[in-house]
């Protein structure tokens, strides 16, 4: 699985495979990963705007 495909699935841009049966712990892990990706993107945007302004 490619990294861009994983990120798209975490952010609900791309639908997941319906045949996949994730456990409860995998759901928790995906939720934490979603949160960290969003915080990372917000941090990068903050640094870019701070540099520009």
Backbone angles phi, psi at 7, to 5 degrees: -65, -40
Global pTM?
Answer: 0.56
DSSP structure string for 12-33: TSSPPPTT----HHHHHHHHHH
39's enclosing H/E stretch is helix 24-52
Rounded distance between C-alpha atoms, residue 45 and residue 31, angstroms: 21
10-49 pLDDT, tens digit each: 777 666 667 777 678 777 888 898 899 999 999 999 999 9
pLDDT value of position 46: 97
DSSP state letter for 1: -
pLDDT of residue 40: 95
Note whether 18 and 42 are within 8 A (CB). no
Domain assignment of residue 38, given as a range:
3-52
The number of domains in the chain is 1
């Amino acid at each position: 699985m490619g990294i861009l495909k994983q990120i798209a699935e975490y952010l609900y841009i791309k639908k997941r495979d319906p045949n996949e049966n994730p456990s409860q712990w995998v759901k928790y892990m995906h939720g934490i990963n979603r949160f960290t990706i969003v915080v990372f993107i917000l941090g990068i945007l903050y640094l870019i705007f701070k540099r520009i302004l």
